[in-house]
Amino acid sequence: MVGRNALLLGFLHVILVIIQYAESSYPYPDGTGNRDLSIKASHFLRSNGVPPINALQAALTGRRSRIHHVTDYGADPTGRSDSTDALEQAIVDAFTSPVDGHLNEGVPNLGGSEVHLDGGTYMISRPLRLSDISGGNFMIHGGSLRASDDFSGNGHLIELRSSSSSPLYEYITLKELMLDSNFRGGGIAIINSIRTTVDNCYISHFTTTGISIQDGHETYIRNSFIGQHINIGGDDREKDFSGIGINITGNDNAVTDVVIFSASIGVMVQGQANMLTGIHCYNKATALGGTGIYIRAPGLTQTRVVNCYLDFTGIVAEDPVQLHVTGSFFLGNAFILLKSVKGVASGVNIVDNMFAGDYTGVPIVKLDQSNAPFKTVDQVVIDRNNVRGMVVKSTVARGSLWKNGTTWTLDFSKVLLFPNLIPHVHYALHAGSASSFPRHILRSVSRNRVTVQTDVVVSATVHVSVDQTTVGGHI
């Protein structure tokens, strides 16, 4: 047995000498040798002392894994010591992986290179930034990051931020991460990146933003949990919640199946053609000054809010143009506020939603005309919403009135959203058993009231349908 072990050790010595010669003789495409030779060699031995055949073959043929384990770089998975340098080196090495062609023009395909956090918790003292080298098809996953007490209050734990004005990153995935900003800045910043995915992440204790998206194209955030203070509602600190859960300043992004459980604003949208679906916002109640979804893209909104849950906190949209809100549930007097900037509302659909309140008279949709009155209203459809405990508001209304007389007035001011605006009226007069045929006329439409008049006294029912949906100009 002793002789066999001695023979095995001698064999390993020869193998390592061959590896060292091969590594020093054949540099990688980046012009350097293998930075982590000694680390790799240390992993060739299994617990029984037998080297894995495939690992030895890979080393002898010059192949190396594209999975970079941060513990191999000296990162502390207990979170007691600073791991910033080790994690940064792992990212740099991942971005110097052999290139498998290109993605978008000028973006090398890194072939699925990964930085694996090995299930540890790592303390970092500055933002982890991707290399200032263009690259794509790369992932960071599988662990936790926590900001140190001296972390910059203006930074984010992970930043896709380059010095180039053109996109350097494509198909970057941040997955299965728990990020604790330690009330020192934000969680993730994605700037001028293409086709980025944030999946199954838990981001907490931020002061600025949980996730910030600026420019770029097609960032997808899904299956994630974001909150400044960790709670499940009923937090005594709610009035002091601050920051933004997700801030989108760009076009063509999607947020799907995400919970925002504490922040002043759940999702801020400041770009066009974004999609929000399956979002549960109970970040900060409207009564305490919070907003679930704030759409700040006046004049060119083009945003869809579908199948979301606004939990005691609602939606604000400035000068909405092409805004679609449907299939969503508004609980606890949560409502939609259309805020006038220049007085424009066009192509707005608020349909097929559910609203539930406490019967204190809160409308499901409100207007904020403190800056300017809405003057251009076109194709605004608010209809088919079911409501309990709140006041129905709509852009279409119907009513009937029976009376014996010559004048019938139906008041729709409590239902119609826009004041003093009825461009379209349909009515019918049902005279029943009247002995003569009365002449009748639509006498007036004013202050959202409709008056129908006959030339003789008659016992009749007047049915009226009004519509603010289409104006097509200034009012």
Q: What does the pLDDT read at residue 434?
A: 65
Q: What is the mean pLDDT of residues 264-286?
A: 97
pLDDT band at 475 (very low <50, low <70, confident <90, very high): low
Task: Say which DSSP state 414 is in.
Answer: T
**Contact criterion met (CB below 8 Å) for 313 and 334:** yes
Q: With 50 as the cut, is the pLDDT of residue 7 above it? A: no
Position 369 pLDDT exceeds 80: yes
Is the Cβ–Cβ distance between 348 and 326 less than 8 Å?
A: no
Dihedral of the CA atoms 388, 389, 395, 397 (nearest 10)?
Answer: 70
State mean pLDDT over 71-91.
97
Cross-strand partners of 305: 276, 325
Query: Which residue, among 331, 333, 329, 334, has the nearest Cα to 308 in the 3D structure?
Result: 329
Q: How is residue 4 written in tokens?
A: 């066999």
Q: Can you give the pLDDT at residue 2?
A: 45
Q: How far apart are CA 319 and CA 10, in angstroms?
A: 77
461-to-63, 394, 402, 422, 466 alpha-carbon distances in Å:
87, 23, 4, 21, 16
- Contacts of residue 141, defined as CB under 8 A and 6 or more positions apart, other chains included, come to 114, 115, 116, 117, 173, 174, 175, 176, 177
Mean pLDDT check: name the lowest of 58-72, 255-269, 406-420.
58-72
What pLDDT score was predicted for residue 432?
Answer: 78
Confidence at 132, pLDDT banded by 50, 70, 90: confident
- DSSP conformation class of 57: H
Residue 40, helix vs strand vs coil: helix
Confidence band of 392 (pLDDT split at 50, 70, 90): very high
Residue 100 is predicted with a pLDDT of 82
Q: 474 pLDDT band (50/70/90 cuts)?
A: low
- pLDDT, mean over the chain: 87
Query: Measured between alpha carbons, how far is 210 from 269 in angstroms, rounded to an integer?
Result: 14
Query: Does residue 167 register a pLDDT over 60?
Result: yes
Beta bridge partners of 329: 309, 354
* DSSP class per residue in 280-316: EE-SS-GGGT-EEEEE--TT---EEEES-EEES--EE
Which pLDDT does position 404 carry in this prediction?
92
What sign results for the dihedral spanned by CA atoms 124, 127, 132, 135? Answer: positive
pLDDT at 180 over 60: yes
Over residues 196-218, the mean pLDDT reads 97
In the chain, helix, strand, coil percent, each to 5? 10, 45, 40
For 249-268, what is the mean pLDDT?
Answer: 97
User: Cα-atom radius of gyration of the chain, to the nearest Å?
Assistant: 32
Other C-beta atoms lying within 10 Å of the C-beta of residue 359: 10
Which pLDDT tens digit goes with each residue over 300-341? 999 999 999 999 999 999 999 999 999 999 999 999 999 999
What residues contact residue 26 under an 8 Å CB cut-off, 6+ apart? 62
Checking if the pLDDT of 76 tops 90, the result is: yes
Q: At residue 64, does pLDDT exceed 80? A: no
pLDDT of residue 163: 74
| pLDDT score, position 55 | 39
- Say how many residues make up the chain: 475
Please say whether the beta carbons of 424 and 407 come within 8 A.
no
* pLDDT (0 to 100) of residue 357: 98
Query: Which DSSP helix (H) or strand (E) runs through 172?
Result: strand 169-180
Indicate the helix (H) or strand (E) that contains 92.
Answer: helix 84-94
User: CB burial class (10 A; 0-12, 13-18, 19+) of residue 340?
Assistant: buried
Name the nearest CA neighbour of 201 among 181, 175, 173.
175
Q: Is the pLDDT of residue 56 over 60?
A: no
All residues at 6 or more sequence positions from 373 whose CB lies less than 8 Å from its CB, including other chains = 340, 343
pLDDT over threshold 70, residue 120? yes
Considering Cα of 49, then 52, then 58, then 64, what sign does the dihedral take?
Answer: negative
Residue 236 has pLDDT above 50, yes or no: yes
Inform me whether the pLDDT recorded for 32 exceeds 60: no
Given this model, what pLDDT does residue 26 score?
34
Q: Using an 8 Å Cβ cutoff, are 317 and 346 in contact?
A: no
Checking if the pLDDT of 343 tops 90, the result is yes
The predicted structure's pLDDT at residue 63: 59
pTM: 0.85
Contact yes or no for 282/253 (Cβ under 8 A): no
Choice among 145-154, 348-357, 424-433 with the minimum mean pLDDT? 424-433
Average pLDDT over residues 295-303: 96
Judge whether residue 240 has pLDDT over 60. yes
Q: Which amino acid is at 390?
A: M
**What tens digit of pLDDT does each residue of 406-464 get?**
999 999 999 999 998 999 999 999 987 767 789 999 999 999 999 999 999 999 999 99
Does 218 score more than 70 pLDDT? yes
pLDDT at 101: 85
- Any idea which of 9-18, 112-121, 227-236 has the lowest mean pLDDT? 9-18
- Mean pLDDT, residues 185-203 taken together: 97
Average pLDDT over residues 354-373: 97
22: pLDDT strictly greater than 70: no
User: Amino acid identity, residue 382?
Assistant: I
**Token pair in block for residue 98:** 């052999």
Give the span between the Cα atoms of 134 and 109, in whole angstroms. Answer: 9
d(CA 357, CA 265): 21
At 257, list the tokens. 């199946």
